[in-house]
Amino acid sequence: MNTLFASTARGLEELLKSELERLGAHSCKVVQGGVHFQGDDRLLYQSLLWSRLASRILLPLNEFRVHSDLDLYLGVQAIDWPSIFGLDKTFAVHFSGLNEEIRNSQYGALKVKDAIVDSFTRKLNDRPMVEKQQPDIRVNVFLQRDMASVALDLSGEGLHQRGYRDLTGQAPLKENLAAAIVQRSGWQPGTPMLDPMCGSGTLLIEAAMIASDRAPGLHRQHWGFTAWNGHNAELWREVITEAQVRAKRGLQETPSRFFGSDIDRRVIEMAKGNARRAGVAELITFNVNDVSKLTNPLPEGPVGTVVSNPPYGERLESEPALIALHNMLGRIMKSHFGGWQLSLFSASPELLSCLQLRAERQFKAKNGPLDCVQKNYQLAENPQGAGGVQVAEDFANRLRKNLKKLDKWAKQQGIECYRLYDADLPDYNVAVDRYGSKVVVQEYAPPKTIDAQKARQRLFDVINATLAVLELPSNQLILKTRERQKGKNQYEKLAQKGEFLLVEEFNAKLWVNLTDYLDTGLFLDHRIARRMLGEMSKGKDFLNLFAYTGTASVHAGLGGARSTTTVDMSRTYLEWAEKNLRVNGLTGRQHRLIQADCLSWLHNADEQFDVIFIDPPTFSNSKRMENTFDVQRDHLALMKDLQRILRRNGTIMFSNNKRGFQMDLAGLNALGLEAKEITAKTQSEDFARNRQIHNCWLVTHAGEGK
């Protein structure tokens, strides 16, 4: 009787135990990461050939305490290595785990190698060679705290390497994990299976091998036991022959009811090749198809199971498309697959919620380093009765209400860009902005007290509802996460797409970039202020400080300004401003662009201007500025410099975004200036729900205010 250990992916241990017991294993004991079991030599070979779930089958050789590297060396050397494999065989050591004494796995492997070599040298006066790439013998050592376990790896390469998959292709699922997903899906052999996002076909191939009674190891060329002295070649041939007979009979008796599709023609060709090498090609029908065009391959029955591992996003920009994909898949399942089962394996439970279906069962498992979940759904036989779960209904209703009101208003105003929603409801802390045919959803970073998964789920609900209410293709929605900004953070680059969209605002054309930066190049809340500046600037010399992309300069120029001077510290934004001016026909020496620290430039300026627009940051500590700037603390010093360059009968429009800002009116009077707050006049319909989005003032020389 052999004592053995089968390792597997975390979360699959109980499933593996049941499989080993069906094969005839005794004394099965589940531990984290695998199952200890006992069996005779036939069971040893059958577990290697037939286990669909094990990663490796190990034959334990010794277990001992390790308090020093000498303990490790002596414990390994105590094993009779010449009785395990011959001098003419190569070997390699796989060492995992650390403790206080062995802190480096490479060092641990080296000590084990030395002990094995010295054991041969002492007994046979010769030594075997080490071969790391394709050794004849693999020695596995696992160190946990002060206990070391040494075992012979009978598998060689991992058992998930069945031998049918083209290893050069992308493979998100290992074959043994795919087999586990199939077994947990509720699918029964003999019934149909469909994978609408099949990739290289692993789930379908594993299911077809189960249905046709084909041993998963039947196509493997290399094993870790063939160089082992305990190998019984005759018994192994018997086990192989029996498996071949079963596979041939199973293929003849299994109906071809496996269907796979994918949008990528290249991976479909790869899937066909994999199925051919696995010996199940005649059981599976593959075709190139988009999920949006998915139909039931057996509309007249029988019912079956849809099993898939849909894509999930690691990048923020991919999430709207994935949310739309899952939402669409849920609708198709309800409308075309009544009575079927659905089982999806994903690293994102939030995406699965976008199906708007209630799961009957769920399982957890690891896919490499990723925590994943598998959810099983029973699809109602009557599609009309499968209404699913209403997602973010209150948000959708509010968005619908705002859209009805604001869409008509925006068309009347002649604007393409406006805010549809601005954290109107406390549970949905986002802003939704429309830019022509596109929509930007900005998530305000949730407080640390809010559970991260709950916040992510709400964001997915928002995107789902936004796509539905606005009837928007997913590629027209851009997702961003906004945190409380300090200094220049709002100007930092997020992406490198360089895609610009030309939009209209009253009589101006303006370039926006919806992807590369946190802000888009157009502050929507300043729309009316820009129009006022255009009306104020006819025949005047206009100055725009902290100009960003120069949109105020465009309105001033279109309003008939004699000259515009646009000052900003960023070369990127000045180039953007130049594009904005040029597309509106505002070129020539009368439209100047100056790259400079605005505070330093203002302090040294000796020109005079009639209209000045200044929208400074609330706070800035940019490395390119000489000092820090705080708008509440420093606005009076700013006004002192502005007063010097403001012509008689001139006007300063001063705006900032600091909540609770207090203008120092007495200090202004001492400078010979006076101010009038015009915040209410600069707020438009789409920002009526957020009266504190900015504050705005007109400042003039004392006695000149109107």
pLDDT, tens digit, for every residue of 85-123?
999 999 999 999 988 888 899 999 999 999 999 999 999
Summarised one tens digit per residue, pLDDT across range 288-329 is: 999 989 999 999 989 999 999 998 876 555 788 898 899 899
Confidence at 275, pLDDT banded by 50, 70, 90: very high
User: Phi and psi for 237 in degrees, rounded to 5?
Assistant: -65, -40
**Nearest-5° angle of CA 94, CA 96, CA 102?**
115
Query: Which stretch of DSSP H or E encloses residue 499?
Result: none
Residues 566-575: what's their mean pLDDT?
A: 96
The answer to whether 56 and 158 are in contact (CB under 8 A) is yes
At residue 451, the pLDDT reads 82
Number of helices and strands (H, E) in the chain?
A: 18, 29
Identical topology for domains 175-212+255-385 and 504-701: yes
Per the model's pLDDT, the better-predicted residue between 166 and 47 turns out to be 47
At residue 490, the pLDDT reads 46
* Extended strands (E) in 32-175: 34-39, 56-65, 91-96, 137-144, 147-153
Cβ-count burial 333-360 (b if 16+ within 10 Å, e if not): bbeebbebbbbbbbbbbbbbbbbbbebe
**Cα distance between residue 654 and residue 675, in whole Å:** 9
Q: Which superfamily does 504-701 belong to?
A: Vaccinia Virus protein VP39 (3.40.50.150)
Confidence at 391, pLDDT banded by 50, 70, 90: low
Residues 622-639: what's their mean pLDDT?
A: 79
CA distances from 409 to 25, 198, 420, 490, 580 (A): 74, 47, 11, 29, 25
**Cα distance between residue 139 and residue 198, in whole Å:** 36
At residue 453, the pLDDT reads 78
Task: Please tell me the least confidently modeled range out of 122-131, 166-175, 279-288, 449-458.
Answer: 166-175
Q: Partners of 144 in the beta sheet?
A: 147
387 pLDDT above the threshold of 90: no
User: What are the structure tokens assigned to 470, written together?
Assistant: 């606005």
The answer to whether 673 and 667 are in contact (CB under 8 A) is no
Residues 631-649: what's their mean pLDDT?
A: 94
At residue 624, the pLDDT reads 47
487 pLDDT above the threshold of 50: no
At residue 316, the pLDDT reads 53
At residue 383, the pLDDT reads 57
Cβ-count burial 616-636 (b if 16+ within 10 Å, e if not): bbbbbebeebeeebebeebbb
486 pLDDT above the threshold of 60: no
pTM score, two decimals? 0.77
User: What are the structure tokens assigned to 564, written together?
Assistant: 């515009």
At residue 448, the pLDDT reads 79
**Cα distance between residue 132 and residue 109, in whole Å:** 11
Domain edges within the chain:
2-153, 175-212+255-385, 393-452+462-484, 504-701
Residues 533-543: what's their mean pLDDT?
A: 98
At residue 390, the pLDDT reads 57
Return the CA Rg of the chain.
35
Per the model's pLDDT, the better-predicted residue between 269 and 381 turns out to be 269
CA distances from 154 to 36, 61, 140, 674 (A): 15, 12, 10, 88
Task: Please tell me the least confidently modeled range out of 23-37, 176-190, 222-236, 368-382.
Answer: 368-382
Summarised one tens digit per residue, pLDDT across range 206-230 is: 999 999 999 999 999 999 999 999 9
The CATH number given to 393-452+462-484 is 3.30.750.80
* Secondary structure class of 259 (helix, strand, coil): strand
Packed helices 69-77 and 105-124: angle between N→C axes, nearest 10 degrees: 40
CATH-assigned architecture of domain 2-153? 2-Layer Sandwich (3.30)
Confidence at 497, pLDDT banded by 50, 70, 90: low
677 pLDDT above the threshold of 50: yes
User: Phi and psi for 305 in degrees, rounded to 5?
Assistant: -130, 130
The two most distant CA atoms of the chain are separated, in Å, by: 110
**Nearest-5° angle of CA 97, CA 99, CA 101?**
125
At residue 274, the pLDDT reads 95
Assign domain 175-212+255-385 one CATH number from 3.40.640.10, 3.40.50.150, 3.30.360.10, 3.40.1050.10. 3.40.50.150
Residues 30-51: what's their mean pLDDT?
A: 97
